[in-house]
Structure formats: C-alpha cells, structure tokens
C-alpha cells in the first residue's frame, strides 16, 4: 500500500489525507483509509478497491469525501466532493497497481439537480386528480401514476412493464399512436369496470432498437362521459366534471395555452401568466408568436404548421421566451391538436415547462469542461514549446560564450536570445492558465503584501488613476506563491488601467467570510470553509455581457490588435485556481468591473511551524564543487539534452546521458563509478522523473 509515485493532482484530490500526512503529500493507501474513517460507505468502497488491487483485479468506484475542514459527508450533503477511483494491476514481476482518481463533483451535482427535477415531476404526476400513464408503441406500460393505480386497485410499480390491455375491459382495444383521444372502458382488479376519456400525445420512433415503435403519454379523465354524451353544463354536488376539468387546467403547475385557428391565444392558465409575467388582458386575443423570442419564431411557425396540417398529431420543441422581470426563459413546448366531436381541427393545445435552471446548469457544466479542455491543450502545447525554447536559449548561451561583444554576430545572437526569452514568458503564462506551473507556496499576509505592492501599482497605472487600498479587520493569512500572487494583482491592475484611458479610481478591498454550506457562483461551486476575499474594482468602461463568458479564455482580448497578448486574465484564472481559489467578475458596460478573488484561509499547524523553525537555523558553510563529479542527465528531448550535456562538460563535469527512465537505469547498472548528481526531466514516457529518483 506504499506509494512509489503520485502526482500533484492526486495529492490535491485527497487533500484531507495529504494534510494528515504532512508536507501536503499522501504517502500510502492507509493514509487515505484513515482520512475516510467516519464515513462507512466511502471507506468500504475504498477498501474493496484496495483488496482487489492486491490480488491483481482491475476495479473502479465512486466515493464521497469531505470537501472542507471539519466537514462530514455522512451528515452534511453540501460538504461532499466526489472522486471516481479506478485501479488496474501493473505488468510487473514485483507487483503493484496503478491508481487513477478524477474529480466528478460537478457532474454529480448536475445529475442530482436532474434527479430532483424528475422526482418533483413524478410527485406532481402522482398527486394529480386525474390518471396519467405512458406506454411504448407496443402498448406496454412504462409509467402509471398513483391516481390511476388507485382507480384500478393495483400498485403503480406493479403496473409498470405490463400491457395496457391487461387493464382494459373485454372488447376494448387500446388507442393507436395515431389517435389523439378515445373513450375507453377500464377493468379494476376486483372485476368492476369504469369508463374514462383518454387523451394522448404520441411520438413515433425510428430504427430497430428499443423504443423504435415510439411511445405515448396519456391523461385519463374518469368523469369524461359528459364530453362524449350529454355534455352536462351544470354542476353536481361536487361541482361537475366541467368545473373540475377547468380547475385542473387553471391550477396545473405547467403553463397551458389554447390557440384558436388564427394562432391567437384563446385561453391560458395561471402558470403561463406567471411564466411570462403578464395579465390575461394583455394575452387573450393576441398572436401567440408575440410570446416567443424573435429568433425562434420562424422555427415555431414551421413546427406548428405540421400539426395544423395533420402531418403530425403532436410535436415537441425547445423555445426561448421573454419572461417576467425582463429575463429570457428556456422552455420545452409540447403542442397537440384540438379536435371537435367530428374530428375537425378546432385549435392547438400548448404545454410549457420552464427549463431555464436546467439549461443554465448544462451551460455552466459545458463551460467548466471547455475551460478544462482548453487548459489541458494549452499545457501540452506549452510544455513541448518550452522544450524547444530551452534548447534555443541554451545554444545561444553557448554561442555568446564563444563570440565576444566585438564580434559582428554578437548583437544578432543577443536578439535571438531576447526574443526567445519573450516567448518563454508567453509559455509561462500558458502554463499558469493550465495550472502546470511549479509553485513555491508560503504563508502570506495579504494586507502587507498589497501594501508592499502599492508603490509598483502606482507607477503602473499612472497619475490619472487614483489607487485606494481598503483592508478588512482580522484578516487571516493565505498560502500562496508570492511571485504568482504579485503577478495576479499586477495583471488585474494593468487590465483596469487599460479600461480607464481618461483616468478614474482603482480600489483594492480585502475582507474575510465564512461559508457553512457550498455555494454555486457562476461555473464554480465554492465549498464550505473560511476564505479571504480580494476585490479589484475599477471605474472603467465595463465588460459587455457577450464577452463575460469568454473573459478568462486564453488569447481572448477586447483590446485593439497589438495592444495585448490575450493571456493576462487567463493567467490570473490559472494561478488562482492552482492555489485552490476562485475568481469571479461582475461588470456591465459603463459601470466598471469588479474582479473578486477568493482564497482559502491558511491555518498553520504545529508541524509547519516546526519546519519553519528548522529552516531558519543557520546552514552549513557552502563548499564550491563546480566541475567535480559525474552527472547523469536524463532528457527525452534531444535538443535539450545535447545543450545540457555540452554546458555541463564545459564546466568540467563528466556527463552520462540517457533518453528516458529505462535508459537511465541501464546506464546506472552499466557504470562502476558513483554518480554524484542526477538531473532528470519530470514528464517522460514510461518511467518518469519522480519515479526514477525513488528507484
């Protein structure tokens, strides 16, 4: 169960075990198991995987872990973070297994919202005063609500997957998918019968697989004989079926609109009025298309025309609508024909379900996945490009060592090196966005750091812009890389300066806050805990709504061509997230912009304090060992390895070379002399640098 190697992401995803292990590292499977004590389900799943790994069996599972300090997934659902674990045996005589872990919290949250919506819809259907069922094209029930089950004297679960014919009286046939409505005679479990009017919407399937025959959704109105026979207009002791049907129409939790043959609104219920935020007087008699977003009207007209012309009995589409308060709604629209007793078209019935929240969650999840994919791509490209630049800069160093300042080529070589160094800065920003930079985090007092930085910021933003610092009380320290922290603040200050060409005010505010439960903000879910908030506020031109979604994407810029690289804010985004923080932006055209940086508070434990004390002790007197000893250089990029070897030999070292981890082991086994220093690339195919050092 001891780890041979685990990358930084693995340690971060098991942060509680890492904190307990000291030095921010997870050292063994036992450390993870100890961190899971208190949550029996997660511990049992983890132990099952570990047991299967020992006997060489591949396995996978998803477990919940605590997301914040002191949080317990078993008692606090909002504190849960989900991890997907997979383990597979290694083809190695010594044994061992490869563990992979992935953060699936975001996808779990989207699934939870979807399940909650489905559960809410199921509860609504079960409590309706009418029967409801769904059947496939072969007449086999897929769902029946509790009301219909009670009428039939059966259980709703018992009815699922049974043919509808089992619940119809002898001589009664089930409706086909082409029928919109029909009077049916149902048979109860005790042998009794009752008549009910069944209205359905149907969709035909395609292909040859499951569901190819299509399916139907049907409403069962038990007291519907009035419509087929005498059409009672009065009311019985209970108000009469007409009154009850109108009550169901008006009180339904989904929006319902009835259209006449001219496409005007003849009637609508309360849910639809609430959805669009209008009074009945503004809707009745108005064209239905007035309720639809301009860009969707053409598609809606085409789909409804198919229903009107009889090409389809019903249709379903996604439409956008202006809603209450000026916000735009996303809705699912179900349209079906209304026919009179002669089967002639009398209008259309439209049902609206508000899917705005669901769509927003889908967009947020997609944006999160997009940013992650862009980060992975940027990191891969930056890593490869960084190798090329390393070789270029290295060989220019060798050239400059052989050409003096009086050499005509000296200035040209310097230009090559300077431009390569500029390219290296761009690569460093890409690595920051992709969160692949090497950090040296330290305990940092935010107020002191900003005060020290204020002199530089004043020179950067110029005299036309007023700089104001406002610090909150009792600020706790954070744990960040000081250089990266300064870069974040400088990038935001420069961005604010460019947004205020005529001058203005730049305010940097600090404060603390505590979250007892996880909070969704934009595309991020901020877990419970204590945080330090840094707000960078400008009075500039603001940011357009259409630019807000892309503001942190690399190479996206609203500045003129040549006025920036488009990497400033993406660098900020990567650095903040690499430190376990979050960044949000609030802005509107003409109203300035506020960038809010949220960093977790740092609580120094006794172990860290002891390490700091030990580091402060005076070090031994250094000894110059330049040029003495044998160096093993391991690098899979030929150009980088060639430069490194030449530079080391020029300094007097004996250099042994290897192109990968396996080759390095061969070199070590083949040489009898001791190797004084190992210099290795970290990311290599096969045995990587970290693993090589430990072998």
Best-predicted range by mean pLDDT among 500-514, 541-555, 665-679?
500-514
pLDDT given at position 373? 63
pLDDT given at position 19? 55
Tell whether the model's pLDDT for residue 435 goes beyond 50. Answer: no
Nearest CA-CA partner of 131 in 153, 114, 116: 153
Of 520 and 646, the structure prediction assigns the larger pLDDT to: 646
pLDDT given at position 563? 47
Of 195 and 384, the structure prediction assigns the larger pLDDT to: 195
In the chain, the percentage of residues whose pLDDT exceeds 70 is: 79
- When mean pLDDT is compared across 391-395, 500-504, 640-644, 689-693, the lowest value belongs to 689-693
482, 450 Cβ separation under 8 angstroms = no
pLDDT given at position 508? 95
Tell whether the model's pLDDT for residue 228 goes beyond 80. Answer: no
Of 611 and 621, the structure prediction assigns the larger pLDDT to: 621
The mean pLDDT of 270-277, rounded to a whole number, is 87
461, 493 Cβ separation under 8 angstroms = yes
666, 632 Cβ separation under 8 angstroms = no
- When mean pLDDT is compared across 255-259, 326-330, 646-650, the lowest value belongs to 326-330
Tell whether the model's pLDDT for residue 212 goes beyond 60. Answer: no
pLDDT given at position 72? 47
372: pLDDT confidence band, cut at 50, 70 and 90?
A: low
pLDDT given at position 307? 85
Of 386 and 434, the structure prediction assigns the larger pLDDT to: 386
pTM: predicted TM-score of the whole model, two decimal places: 0.39
Locate 493 and state its tokens: 């200050």
Answer left, alpha or beta for residue 37, where phi above 0 means left and psi between -120 and 50 means alpha. beta
pLDDT given at position 224? 43
- When mean pLDDT is compared across 314-323, 607-616, 661-670, 678-687, the lowest value belongs to 607-616
> Phi, psi (5° rounding) for residue 687?
-80, 120
Give the whole-angstrom CA distance, residue 615 versus residue 636: 35
Locate 462 and state its tokens: 């110029």
Query: pLDDT tens for residues 302-358?
Result: 888 888 888 777 788 888 988 877 778 888 888 888 887 777 888 888 999 888 887
- When mean pLDDT is compared across 92-101, 254-263, 270-279, 288-297, the lowest value belongs to 92-101
The mean pLDDT of 204-220, rounded to a whole number, is 62
The mean pLDDT of 273-286, rounded to a whole number, is 85
Of 315 and 607, the structure prediction assigns the larger pLDDT to: 315
Nearest CA-CA partner of 152 in 191, 181, 183: 191
246: pLDDT confidence band, cut at 50, 70 and 90?
A: low
pLDDT given at position 618? 63
Average pLDDT, the chain: 79
For residue 18, count CB atoms less than 10 angstroms from its CB and return exposed for 0-12, middle for 13-18, buried for 19 or more: buried
86, 59 Cβ separation under 8 angstroms = yes
For residue 316, count CB atoms less than 10 angstroms from its CB and return exposed for 0-12, middle for 13-18, buried for 19 or more: middle
Structural element, H or E, at residue 460: helix 446-461
pLDDT given at position 230? 37
Of 582 and 234, the structure prediction assigns the larger pLDDT to: 582
467: pLDDT confidence band, cut at 50, 70 and 90?
A: very high
Tell whether the model's pLDDT for residue 77 goes beyond 60. Answer: no
620: pLDDT confidence band, cut at 50, 70 and 90?
A: low
Nearest CA-CA partner of 632 in 666, 606, 604, 609: 666
pLDDT given at position 596? 95
pLDDT given at position 685? 76
409: pLDDT confidence band, cut at 50, 70 and 90?
A: confident
- When mean pLDDT is compared across 155-164, 397-406, 549-558, 563-572, the lowest value belongs to 563-572
Q: Please list the residues that pair with 658 across neighbouring strands.
A: 634
pLDDT given at position 582? 93
Give the whole-angstrom CA distance, residue 580 versus residue 566: 23
Tell whether the model's pLDDT for residue 437 goes beyond 60. Answer: no
Give the up-direction half-sphere exposure of residue 199: CA atoms within 13 A in the CB hemisphere. 14
pLDDT given at position 578? 83
The mean pLDDT of 478-497, rounded to a whole number, is 88
500: pLDDT confidence band, cut at 50, 70 and 90?
A: very high
Nearest CA-CA partner of 196 in 250, 126, 245: 245
User: DSSP code of 220?
Assistant: E
pLDDT given at position 103? 84
Query: pLDDT tens for residues 509-565?
Result: 999 999 988 888 877 788 889 999 999 999 999 988 878 877 777 656 665 544 444
């Amino acid at each position: 169960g001891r780890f041979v190697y685990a990358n930084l992401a693995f340690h971060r995803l098991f942060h509680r075990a890492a904190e307990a292990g000291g030095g921010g590292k997870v050292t063994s499977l036992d450390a993870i198991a100890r961190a899971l004590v208190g949550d029996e389900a997660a511990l049992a799943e983890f132990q099952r995987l570990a047991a299967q790994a020992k006997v060489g069996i591949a396995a996978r599972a998803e477990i919940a872990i605590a997301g914040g300090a002191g949080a317990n997934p078993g008692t606090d659902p909002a504190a849960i973070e989900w991890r997907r674990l997979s383990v597979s045996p290694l083809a190695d005589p010594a044994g061992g297994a490869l563990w992979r872990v992935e953060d699936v919290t975001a996808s779990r949250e989207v699934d939870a919202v979807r399940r909650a919506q489905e559960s809410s819809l199921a509860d609504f259907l079960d409590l309706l005063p009418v029967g409801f069922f769904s059947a496939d094209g072969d007449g086999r029930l897929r769902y029946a609500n509790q009301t219909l089950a009670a009428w039939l004297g059966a259980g709703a679960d018992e009815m699922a997957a049974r043919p509808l014919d089992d619940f119809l009286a002898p001589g009664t046939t089930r409706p086909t998918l082409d029928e919109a409505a029909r009077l049916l005679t149902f048979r109860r479990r005790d042998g009794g019968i009752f008549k009910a009017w069944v209205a359905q919407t149907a969709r035909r399937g395609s292909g040859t697989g499951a569901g190819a025959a299509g399916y139907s959704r049907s409403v069962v109105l038990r007291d519907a004989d009035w419509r087929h026979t005498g059409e009672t207009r009065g009311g019985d002791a209970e108000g009469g079926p007409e009154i009850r049907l109108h009550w169901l129409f008006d009180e339904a939790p989904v929006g319902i609109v009835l259209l006449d043959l001219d496409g005007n609104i003849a009637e609508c219920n309360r849910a639809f009025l609430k959805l669009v935020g209008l009074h009945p007087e503004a809707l009745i008699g108005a064209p239905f298309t007035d309720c639809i977003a301009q860009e969707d009207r053409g598609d809606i007209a085409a789909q409804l025309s198919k229903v009107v012309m009889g090409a389809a009995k019903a249709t379903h589409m996604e439409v956008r609508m202006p809603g209450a308060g000026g916000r735009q709604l996303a809705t699912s629209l179900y349209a079906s024909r209304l026919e009179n007793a002669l089967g002639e078209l009398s209008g259309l019935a439209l049902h609206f379900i508000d899917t705005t929240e669901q769509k927003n969650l889908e967009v947020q999840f997609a944006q999160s996945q997009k940013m992650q994919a862009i980060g992975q791509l940027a990191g891969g490209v930056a890593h490869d490009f960084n190798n090329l630049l390393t070789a270029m800069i290295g060989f220019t160093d060798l050239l400059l060592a052989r050409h003096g300042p009086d050499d005509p080529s000296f200035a040209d070589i310097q230009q090559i090196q300077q431009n390569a160094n500029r390219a290296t800065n761009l690569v460093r920003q890409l690595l920051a966005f992709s969160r692949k930079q090497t950090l040296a985090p330290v305990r940092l007092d935010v107020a002191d750091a900003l005060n020290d930085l204020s002199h530089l910021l004043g020179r950067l933003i110029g005299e036309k812009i007023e700089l104001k610092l406002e610090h909150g009380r009792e600020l706790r320290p954070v744990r960040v890389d000081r250089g990266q922290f300064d870069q974040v603040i400088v990038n935001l200050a420069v961005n604010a300066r460019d947004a205020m060409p005529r001058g203005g005010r730049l305010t940097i505010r600090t404060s603390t806050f505590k979250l007892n439960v996880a909070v969704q903000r934009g595309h991020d879910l901020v877990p419970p805990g204590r945080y330090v908030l840094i707000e960078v506020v400008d009075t500039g031109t603001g940011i357009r709504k259409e630019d807000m979604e892309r503001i942190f994407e690399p190479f996206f810029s609203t500045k003129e061509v040549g006025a920036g690289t488009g990497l400033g804010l993406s660098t900020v985004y990567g650095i903040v997230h690499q430190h376990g923080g979050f960044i949000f932006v609030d802005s509107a055209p003409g109203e300035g912009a506020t960038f809010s940086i949220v960093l977790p508070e740092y609580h120094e434990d006794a172990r860290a304090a002891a390490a700091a004390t030990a580091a402060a002790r005076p070090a031994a007197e250094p000894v110059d060992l330049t040029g003495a000893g044998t160096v093993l250089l391991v690098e899979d990029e030929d150009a980088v390895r060639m430069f490194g070897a030449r530079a080391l030999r020029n300094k007097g070292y004996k250099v042994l070379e290897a192109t990968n981890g396996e080759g390095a082991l061969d070199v070590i086994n083949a040489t009898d002399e001791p190797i004084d220093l190992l210099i290795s690339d970290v990311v290599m195919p096969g045995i990587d640098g970290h693993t090589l050092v430990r072998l």
